[in-house]
């Protein structure tokens, strides 16, 4: 990733006096009690998830000669961008809070052959439940610019438009996987020749009994056996000294608890549900000539409105009052298709008549008292629940209990990929940081110090939505990584090239909101000393330090949530 870079050194040197009082630049202090130490050497590292973040983590850990295993529940790397016609198993209506623990065998390894219809579940549904097809549609295009939406060292084909198709981006990610020997069936060239990546392999549980023991991952791989029309499941366990969680943020659909939604969710026509969540949307043709209601006012809602608009006869969008802003805080209404009729929030779905066919005759009551009738199809673009992987440790929306580098402060052998921006260097800084910390090439402050930094609120850069705070996080990484390399050895990392600002501004101003991000926005931030950096606003500042880890039989037991 990194070449020796004069600019990085100058930046590190220039920032030294101000930052040394601010606990950022912590080099040249040899009091070992200031640093985190690990009870045993770290050689084996598991990475969970082969999306853009997990791939970059694995690549950096391999470069540091750690023994790496990368587990991916899908049949191939690509993460969110692995497009298939398969759709996720239907979500629960109404929403439940349950975190159903995976059913695990009592002894390992174990094997089971699933037959069609076993326990009332089809093989197809069992397969999809295992790997969770992605929430992306056939003609999805990125809302981030191509020059910044790619993985390190992999270019897009010449003349690729700035708004990428899902397929272009999938290829970029899989090319990166191949470059680093992390694609399906890639074999390493050196001993012990054991493959790094295990696809169709879901991590079911992550356990550690105490600080001196190792992490035990419980794994389940599913394989189709077409000749006997069965699915083979293998369960086994593997031991690791450290674990990186890179499981993404958009796994579990959020279904609002609107009165009557359960009743409407069961209505079907020609074998297809009339109400779907945007995660199952694949093609617009199905909506040809219909009256369609979209619920939601963020990117999925606006993008889908434009995807289906040319096909539908009438398009209605239900938006909550006073929430005409998307996750990025900008006015959303202009972003809907022109033919979209904006209506208020839904208060209830009146019970359907009982013939079970379609919803056209049903009545939808809005909060202002108006009743909508004659709707053929509903798309809930209502977003996702905070990913519940490792539910009791970390809420990835608020990043509870994590140091700004992603280490779980209670036990820094567990680390999370935090990146809102998984592209270009960002996730590589994180992966490189984990590799350096675990191989002794970078020091992590003591846990007391990490808690103090955490509680100060200064380092809460976890939110992907604030471009300038993300810039701040990258600055911290460049200073910290390069200072540690100077002290302990290792390559230097480059800051993001300055032109990325221009690219970001150009794209954001054209695609999101006019004149939103100007040159001055960046340079103003440039010239601020660290202690005057903007603090995270209330949206991501509400969270409290929560000591929310569940102890079961003396172990940290973490169970995969379906
Ligand atoms: C509809 C949609 C559109 C988007 N558009 C954009 C865009 O235009 N630009 C942009 O920058 N971002 C966009 N995003 C955000 C997207 O999440 C990121 O681009 C990126 O994919 C995040 O990478 P990641 O590696 O962190 O997570 P992911 O890409 O989600 O990868 C996580 C991986 O972890 C695996 N995994 C999860 N649990 C387990 C388990 N228990 N065991 C094994 N493996 C597991 C998953 O199978 C998955 O492959 C979009 C998201 C959505 C939903
Ligand atoms: N590349 C692309 O073009 C593209 C396309 C789709 C998604 N994405 C990305 O995917 C991620 C998820 O986006 P998302 O749009 O699916 O989810 P989201 O940003 O979480 O938005 C969910 C929307 O649903 C609304 N909502 C929830 N309950 C509702 C209810 N009862 N009635 C009316 N509205 C309700 C929310 O409104 P409130 O604010 O009132 O809660 C919000 O507007 C984002 O990172 C986004 O950038 C990108
Ligand atoms: C990794 O191992 C190779 C081969 O032994 C060696 O050349 C390289 O310097 C090592 N890299 C690191 C970061 O230790
Ligand atoms: C589910 O969790 C939410 C948020 O914690 C809470 O408001 C709601 O009451 C819970 N609902 C049920 C049915 O447990
Ligand atoms: C930690 O776990 C290991 C392995 O399970 C065990 O041998 C050891 O006694 C445990 N130590 C403590 C302090 O509980
Ligand atoms: C309620 O909203 C609908 C749809 O926007 C609108 O046509 C109607 O006039 C509103 N009713 C009232 C009482 O404001
Ligand atoms: C909806 O509820 C009504 C009244 O309780 C019932 O008759 C009907 O069968 C339900 N419809 C569906 C699709 O479940
Ligand atoms: C950029 O600066 C302008 C002018 O000060 C301000 O209105 C705008 O909110 C800033 N943009 C962002 C994204 O912070």
What is the C-alpha separation between 304 and 28, in angstroms, rounded? 54
How many angstroms separate the alpha carbon of residue 254 from the centre of ligand 2? Answer: 10
Tell me which of 65, 188, 437 to substitute to probe ligand 3's pocket, judged by most ligand atoms within 8 Å of the beta carbon: 65
- Among all bound ligands, the one having the nearest atom to the CA of 341 is 6
Torsion sign (Cα): 425, 429, 434, 439: positive
Please tell me whether residues 204 and 261 are part of one structural domain.
no
- pLDDT tens digits for range 187-223: 877 777 789 999 999 998 888 877 778 999 999 999 9
At 309-345, the pLDDT tens digits run: 999 999 999 998 655 554 444 567 778 999 999 998 9
How far the first Cα of the chain sits from its last, in Å, is 35
Q: From the CA of 503, how far away is ligand 4's center (Å)?
A: 42
Cα 529 to averaged position of ligand 8 atoms, centre (Å)? 19
Report the alpha-carbon distance of residue 331 to residue 411 in Å, rounded.
41
How many angstroms is it from 328 CA to the middle of ligand 8? 13
Ligand 6 is surrounded, with C-beta below 6 A, by 343-344, 366, 368-370
Amino acid 458: pLDDT: 76
**Whether pLDDT at 22 is above 50:** no
The residues pairing with 71 across neighbouring beta strands, listed in sequence order, are 48, 198
Average pLDDT over residues 154-166: 94
Determine contact, residues 173/164, Cβ cutoff 8 Å.
Answer: no
Ligand 5 centroid vs 208 CA: distance in angstroms? 10
pLDDT, residue 322, reads 56
In this structure, the answer to whether residues 53 and 74 fall within a common structural domain is yes
- Using the predicted structure, report yes or no on whether residue 305 has a pLDDT greater than 50: yes
Ligand closest to 261 (CA) is 7
pLDDT for res 282: 98
Q: Where are the beta strands (DSSP E) in 319-435?
A: 340-343, 346-349, 363-366, 371-373, 377-380, 414-416
Q: In which residue are the tokens 């992987």 written?
A: 389
**Residue 351 DSSP one-character state:** P
Beta bridge partners of 115: none
Mean per-residue pLDDT of the chain: 83
% of the chain at pLDDT higher than 70: 80
**Does residue 3 fall inside a structural domain?**
no
| pLDDT band at residue 532 using 50, 70 and 90 as cut-offs | confident
List the CATH number of the domain containing 273. 3.50.50.60
Neighbours of 266 (CB within 10 A): 12
Given a cut of 60, whether residue 181 has pLDDT beyond it is: yes
Same domain, 209 and 72: yes
Report the separation in Å between the CA atom of 371 and the middle of ligand 6, taken as the mean of its atom positions: 9
Q: 337 and 276 in one domain?
A: yes
Question: Whose alpha carbon is nearest atom 5 of ligand 3?
Answer: 65
469: CA distance to ligand 8 center in Å?
13
Beta bridge pairs of residue 551: 556
Ligand 1 proximity of 250 Cβ (cutoff 6 Å): yes
User: pLDDT value at position 10?
Assistant: 33
> Ligand 3, closest atom to CA 64?
13
pLDDT greater than 90 at residue 558: no
* Domain span including residue 538: 44-86+106-249+386-544
Per the CB < 8 A criterion, the answer to whether 427 and 150 are in contact is no
Q: Give yes or no: residues 177 and 293 share one domain.
A: no
Q: What is the mean pLDDT of residues 350-357?
A: 84
Q: Point out the domain boundary residue: 362, 382, 402.
A: 382
Could you report the per-residue pLDDT of 479-507, keeping only the tens digit for each? Answer: 999 999 999 999 999 998 889 889 988 98
Q: Give the number of the atom of ligand 1 that is nearest the alpha carbon of residue 54.
A: 25
Share of the chain above pLDDT 90, in %: 57
Q: Which residue is it, tokens 């949530």?
A: 561
Domain assignment present for residue 340? The answer is yes
328 and 432 together in one domain: no
Distances (CA, A) of 45 to 68, 217, 406, 435: 5, 11, 15, 9
Nearest to 562, CA basis, from 203, 135, 81: 203
Shared domain for 233 and 360, answered yes or no, is no
Same domain, residue pair 220 and 288: no
Same domain, 314 and 463: no
Pocket test for ligand 6, best of 316, 364, 366, 367 (most atoms within 8 A of CB): 366
At residue 357, the pLDDT reads 80
Q: 422 and 367 in one domain?
A: no
Query: Lowest-pLDDT range, 127-141, 169-183, 191-205?
Result: 191-205
Rg (CA), the chain: 24
Ligand 1 in contact with 51 (CB < 6 A)?
A: yes
- Name residues whose C-beta falls within 8 Å of residue 28's C-beta, 6 or more positions apart in sequence: 487
Same domain, 118 and 65: yes
Domain count, the chain: 2
14-23, 246-255, 274-283, 428-437: range with lowest mean pLDDT: 14-23
User: Which ligand gives the minimal distance to the CA of 215?
Assistant: 5
Q: Is 77 in the pocket of ligand 1 (CB under 6 A)?
A: no
Q: Would the CB of 194 count as within 6 Å of ligand 5?
A: no
pLDDT score for 457: 74
């Amino acid at each position: 990733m990194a070449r020796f870079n004069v600019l990085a050194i100058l930046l590190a040197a220039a920032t030294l006096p101000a930052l040394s009082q601010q606990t950022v630049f912590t080099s040249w202090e040899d009091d070992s009690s200031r640093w985190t130490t690990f009870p045993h050497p770290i050689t084996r590292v598991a990475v969970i998830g082969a999306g853009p973040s997990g791939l970059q983590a694995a690549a950096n850990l391999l470069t540091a000669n750690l023994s790496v295993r990368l587990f991916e529940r899908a049949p191939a790397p690509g993460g969110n961008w692995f497009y298939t016609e398969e759709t996720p198993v239907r979500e629960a209506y109404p929403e439940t809070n349950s975190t159903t623990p995976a059913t695990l065998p009592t002894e390992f390894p174990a094997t089971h052959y699933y037959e069609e219809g076993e326990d009332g579940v089809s093989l197809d549904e069992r397969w999809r439940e295992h790997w969770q097809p992605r929430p992306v549609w056939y003609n999805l295009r990125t809302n981030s610019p191509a020059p910044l939406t790619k993985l390190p060292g992999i270019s897009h084909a010449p003349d690729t438009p700035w708004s990428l198709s899902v397929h272009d981006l999938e290829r970029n990610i899989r090319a990166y996987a191949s470059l680093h020997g992390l694609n399906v069936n890639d074999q390493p060239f050196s001993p012990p020749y054991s493959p790094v990546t295990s696809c169709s392999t879901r991590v079911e549980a992550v356990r550690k009994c105490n600080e001196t023991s190792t992490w035990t991952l419980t794994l389940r791989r599913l394989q189709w056996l077409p000749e006997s029309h069965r699915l083979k499941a293998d369960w086994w366990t593997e031991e690791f000294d450290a674990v990186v969680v890179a499981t993404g943020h958009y796994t579990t659909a959020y279904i609002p608890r609107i009165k009557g939604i359960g009743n409407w969710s069961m209505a079907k026509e020609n074998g297809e549900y009339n109400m779907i969540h945007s995660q199952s949307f694949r093609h617009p043709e199905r909506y040809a000539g219909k009256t369609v209601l979209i619920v939601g006012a963020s990117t999925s809602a606006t993008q889908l409105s434009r995807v289906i608009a040319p096909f539908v006869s009438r398009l209605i969008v239900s938006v909550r009052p006073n929430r005409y802003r998307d996750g990025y805080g900008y006015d959303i209404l202009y972003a809907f298709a022109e033919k979209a009729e904006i209506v208020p929030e839904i208060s209830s779905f009146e019970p359907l008549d009982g013939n079970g066919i379609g919803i056209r005759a049903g009545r939808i009551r809005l909060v202002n008292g108006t009743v909508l009738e004659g709707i053929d199809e509903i798309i809930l673009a209502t977003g996702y629940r905070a990913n519940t992987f490792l539910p009791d440790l970390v809420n990835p929306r608020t990043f509870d209990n994590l140091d700004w580098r992603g280490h779980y402060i209670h036990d820094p052998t567990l680390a999370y990929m935090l990146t809102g921006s998984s592209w270009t260097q960002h996730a590589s800084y994180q992966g490189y940081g984990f590799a350096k910390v675990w191989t002794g090439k970078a020091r992590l402050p003591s846990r007391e110090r990490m808690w103090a930094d955490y509680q100060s609120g200064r380092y809460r850069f976890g939110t992907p939505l604030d471009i300038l705070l993300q810039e701040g996080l990258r600055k911290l990484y460049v200073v910290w990584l390069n200072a540690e390399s100077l002290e302990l050895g290792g390559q230097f990392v480059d800051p993001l090239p300055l032109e990325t600002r221009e690219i970001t501004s150009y794209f954001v101003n054209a695609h999101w909101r006019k004149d939103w991000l100007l040159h001055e926005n960046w340079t103003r931030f440039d010239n601020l000393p660290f202690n005057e950096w903007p603090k995270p606003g209330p949206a991501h500042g509400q969270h409290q330090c929560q000591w929310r880890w569940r102890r079961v039989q003396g172990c940290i037991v973490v169970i995969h949530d379906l």
